[in-house]
């Protein structure tokens, strides 16, 4: 009996194995295809976004557009100079507020390990995820309401609060790339800790610090929600101008919004690319 | 004076360094140094950390105290009560919370498969020369300001949705009821699509770093057993990266919940119980954007700030969960979150 059954049984197993192998290969193919589709779907919006911003914005863009002050609605010849300088002022002031604070706080986290440091680190991580609109409300509550006026300072404060946790964590990460031995060697040489921080930690981590801070600045420069609560006029920042002009039904206002979006996008992407170039140069030098 | 009578050989010193964890050596050194002061530097460091701590506390206290009038007026029911009718003096966040959760959920349904597939493609399938530039592209998508995404959604996607996408979806046999009603364009669905675009980079980079943390040996072992690429991903990579991927989804959810300006531009801003996904809605964030300017001083403004308080609680809970997941996933991944934003 078994002598008769054995070959057919072996045949059965063989076909089953072959079928399973084929099925596995088909599944594998399907899966790879789906991943490629997902990749295309992920990149498509990026391409579409940039394409529309460039094609709809570039025709309005001119030297006069960048350097002339805005005109009242329906009067041609206006530009966005106040928005560009406004954004520059706000972001510049925010940088002045945020970079020293974040560097010192990061040094604190770098040199200390304990409950307090852990709590601060966790707050920074959670604050990074707090919506920017809430930070705008915060700035409104502490600077606009008590002083009874909207101001560049309040806007800069909001952006600084927004950047602070991102910068702190990026700075600390950058400092952690410095070998501990170097820090210990500095201390062992008898240098004061401030001296070691300056000559070893900050100097060694400088390129990474630059990358992290540039990315944080790029993010803050593109924020709209915090400015909504802190600036009196939409003409005082590019992002607000895009919001108010873009939500109007007039084609001329929409054209201004697209062109401003193009300027903002170029600026932010430039910062972001610069940050990546710095990071890339470091990683190439390290190898 | 033990160290004078028994001088340590170099071997003993390095043995000591090996036995002591680096952190302990550092702390011992620190204790020694700090006795000599170094006052100004120490004070500065404390000032930096203190300032940051003050900002965090100030944020909580500021939002809390300015929204207290609203909670006193409407009670705790503010959070779930459905009516938002400032003209009648009725303030409630219920519908806004509902729409916030709904847009986020739909955005995740759209985004997570695409994000996961992209991350798998970049980390498991693509050759290195392709994976590098593509991840840079995805990273640049993260850098695009939300206002630009909102403008694109409003001026480019809205007409397409009103004329093509929404009528088409309403005509799909089994799913049509999800999309019934007038096709306006601005809708919960459109807001979800915009949110999906905006949260995709978070998902891709975090999942990718989670996949990167899976040891190569695990993949090789699976391959040696005859697994196909799909089986390697499913049986070896996914289980090991589960915490990291969950963290990625959670942090993306946190981002979607809080996005306000882009959503305000495409959702139509109508605080009513949604009949379908193609009807306009209003989220917490979009309501703050739209109601803030016209809120009456006093209780009106306080109620808008209270919306912010509700949103703050929601996002802090979600983000704290995401951070905890990230830490449980792997020590090194905790850092990527900071670098990402």
Residues B13-25: pLDDT tens digits? 444 444 556 666 6
Q: Does B271 fall in a domain?
A: yes
Q: What digits encode the pLDDT tens for the residues A102-133?
A: 999 999 998 887 889 889 999 999 899 899 99
**A267 interface with B at CB cutoff 8 Å:** no
**Pair B165, B267 in one domain:** yes
Based on the fold, state whether residues B86 and B187 are members of the same structural domain: yes
Chain segment A237-254, per-residue pLDDT in tens = 999 999 998 888 888 889
Structural contact between residues B193 and B153, judged by C-beta atoms closer than 8 angstroms: yes
Q: What is the pLDDT of residue B16?
A: 45
* Confidence tier at B148 by pLDDT (50, 70, 90): very high
Question: Which residues from B are below 8 Å from A113, CB to CB?
Answer: 23, 27
Mutant choice from B50, B230, B327 vs A, greatest count of A C-beta within 10 A: B230
Domain ranges of chain A: 1-57, 63-286
How many other β-carbons are positioned within 10 Å of the β-carbon of residue A273?
Answer: 17
Give the residue on B whose Cα is nearest the Cα of A271: B143
A197 touches chain B (CB under 8 A): yes
pLDDT one-digit tens code per residue, B321-337 = 998 888 886 544 434 43
Interface residue A261 vs chain B (CB under 8 A): yes
Q: Is the pLDDT of residue A203 over 90?
A: no
Contact status of A31 with chain B (Cβ, < 8 Å): yes
Cα separation of the two ends of chain B: 53
Residue B27 sits in the same domain as residue B148:
no
Residue A247 touches partner B, C-beta closer than 8 Å = yes
B14 and B102 together in one domain: no
Q: Which CATH class is domain A63-286?
A: mainly alpha
Instruction: Flag the least confident range among B93-102, B147-156, B272-281.
Output: B272-281
Residue A234's pLDDT is what? 84
CB B181 within 8 Å of CB B279:
yes
- Shortest CA gap A35–chain B (Å): 5
Report the CATH number that the domain containing residue B264 is assigned in CATH. 1.10.3720.10
| B89 in the same domain as B7 | no
A28: chain B residues, CB-CB within 8 Å: 228-231
Length of chain B: 341
Q: Name the residue range of residue B13's domain.
A: 1-36
Chain A segment 49-68 residues within 8 A of B by beta carbon are 49, 52-53, 56
Q: Give the tokens for residue B96.
A: 């806004």
pLDDT, residue B36, reads 46
3-class state of residue B280 by DSSP: coil
User: Which tokens is A89 given?
Assistant: 């002022």
CA distance B121 to chain A (A): 5
Beta carbons of A137 and B308 less than 8 Å apart: yes
Determine, for residues B145 and A264 on separate chains, whether the beta-carbon distance falls below 8 Å.
Answer: yes
Which regions of chain A does DSSP assign to beta strands (E)? Answer: none
> Looking at per-residue confidence, does B74 or A120 come out higher?
A120
pLDDT band for position B31 (cuts 50, 70, 90): low
Higher confidence at residue B292 or residue A238?
A238
Same domain for B88 and B3: no
ipTM over 0.90: no
Predicted confidence band of residue B193 (pLDDT cuts 50, 70, 90): very high
- Which token pair is A263? 């300027």
Spell out which residues of chain A touch residue B138, defining contact as CB-CB under 8 Å. Answer: 42-43, 46
- Interchain contact A265–B (C-beta under 8 A): yes
Q: How many domains does the structure of chain B reveal? A: 2
Nearest chain B residue (CA) to A173: B335
Chain B interface test: which of A27, A225, A269 (most B C-beta within 10 Å): A225
Per CB-CB distance under 8 Å, the chain B contacts of A125 are 319, 323, 334, 337-338
SS3 of chain A: helix, strand, coil, percent, to 5: 85, 0, 15
Q: Determine the distance in angstroms separating the CA of B87 from the nearest CA of chain A, rounded to an integer.
A: 22
> With an 8 Å Cβ cutoff, is A219 touching chain B?
yes
Same-domain pairing of B284 and B206: yes
Same domain, B21 and B107: no
The answer to whether residue B281 is domain-embedded is yes
B195 and B246 in a single domain? The answer is: yes
Q: Please name the residue ranges forming H helices in A177-250.
A: 180-188, 193-196, 203-221, 225-228, 238-246
Segment B272-285 shows an average pLDDT of 86
| Residue B62, in any domain of the structure | no
The structure tokens 């070896």 sit at B236
Give the model's pLDDT for residue B28: 63
Residue B109: inside a domain:
yes
- DSSP characters over A5-37: HHHHHHHHHHHHHHHHHHHHHHHHHHHHHHHHH
Q: B20 with B133, same domain? A: no
């Amino acid at each position: 009996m078994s002598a008769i059954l054995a070959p057919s049984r072996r045949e059965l197993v063989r076909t089953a194995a072959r079928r399973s192998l084929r099925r596995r290969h088909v599944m594998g193919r399907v899966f790879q295809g789906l991943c490629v589709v997902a990749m295309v779907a992920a990149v498509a919006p990026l391409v579409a976004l940039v394409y529309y911003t460039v094609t709809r914005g570039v025709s309005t863009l001119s030297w006069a557009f960048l350097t002339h002050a805005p005109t009242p609605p329906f009067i041609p010849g206006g530009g966005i100079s106040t928005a560009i300088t406004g954004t520059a002022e706000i972001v510049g002031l925010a940088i002045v507020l945020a970079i020293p604070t974040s560097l010192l706080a990061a040094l604190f986290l770098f040199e200390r390990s304990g409950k307090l440091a852990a709590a601060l680190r966790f707050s920074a991580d959670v604050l990074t995820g707090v919506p920017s609109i809430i930070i705008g409300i915060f700035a409104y509550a502490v600077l606009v309401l008590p002083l009874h006026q909207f101001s560049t300072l309040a806007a800069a404060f909001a952006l600084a609060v927004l950047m602070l946790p991102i910068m702190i964590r990026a700075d600390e990460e950058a400092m952690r790339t410095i070998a501990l031995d170097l820090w210990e060697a500095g201390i062992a040489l008898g240098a004061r800790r401030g001296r070691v921080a300056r000559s070893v930690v900050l100097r060694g981590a400088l390129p990474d610090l630059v990358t992290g801070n540039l990315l944080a600045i790029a993010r803050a420069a593109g924020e709209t929600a915090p400015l909504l609560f802190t600036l009196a006029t939409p003409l005082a920042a590019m992002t607000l101008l895009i919001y108010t002009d873009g939500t109007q039904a007039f084609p001329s206002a929409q054209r201004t919004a697209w062109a401003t979006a193009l300027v903002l996008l170029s600026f932010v992407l430039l910062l972001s690319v610069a940050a990546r170039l710095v990071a890339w140069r470091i990683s190439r030098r390290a190898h | 004076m033990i160290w004078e009578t028994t001088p340590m050989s170099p071997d003993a010193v390095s043995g000591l360094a090996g036995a002591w964890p680096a952190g302990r050596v550092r702390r011992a050194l620190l204790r020694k140094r700090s006795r000599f002061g170094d006052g100004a530097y120490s004070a500065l460091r404390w000032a930096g950390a203190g300032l940051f701590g003050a900002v965090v506390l100030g944020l909580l206290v500021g939002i809390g105290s300015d929204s207290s009038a609203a909670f006193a007026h409407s009670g705790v029911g503010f959070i779930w009560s459905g009516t938002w009718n400032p003209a009648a003096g009725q303030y409630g966040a219920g519908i806004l919370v509902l729409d916030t959760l709904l847009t986020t959920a739909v955005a995740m349904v759209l985004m997570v498969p695409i994000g996961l597939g992209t991350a798998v493609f970049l980390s498991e399938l693509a050759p290195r020369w392709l994976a590098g530039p593509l991840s840079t592209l995805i990273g640049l998508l993260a850098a695009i300001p939300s206002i630009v995404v909102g403008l694109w959604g409003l001026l480019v996607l809205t007409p397409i949705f009103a004329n093509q996408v929404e009528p088409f979806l309403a005509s799909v046999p089994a799913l049509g009821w999800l999309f019934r009603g007038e096709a306006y364009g601005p809708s919960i669905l459109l807001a979800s699509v915009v949110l999906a675009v905006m949260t995709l980079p978070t998902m891709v980079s975090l999942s990718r770093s989670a996949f990167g943390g899976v040891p190569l040996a695990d993949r090789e072992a699976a391959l040696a057993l005859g697994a196909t690429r799909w089986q390697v991903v499913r049986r070896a990579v996914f289980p090991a990266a589960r915490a990291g991927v969950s963290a990625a989804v959670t942090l993306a959810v946190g981002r979607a919940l809080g996005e306000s300006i882009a959503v305000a531009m495409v959702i139509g801003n109508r605080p009513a119980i949604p009949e379908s996904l193609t009807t306009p809605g209003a989220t917490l964030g979009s309501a703050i954007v739209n109601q803030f300017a016209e809120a009456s001083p006093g209780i009106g403004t306080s109620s808008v700030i209270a919306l912010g308080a509700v949103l703050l609680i929601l996002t802090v809970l979600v983000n704290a969960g995401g951070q905890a997941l990230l830490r449980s996933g792997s020590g090194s991944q905790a850092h990527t979150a900071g670098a990402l934003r």
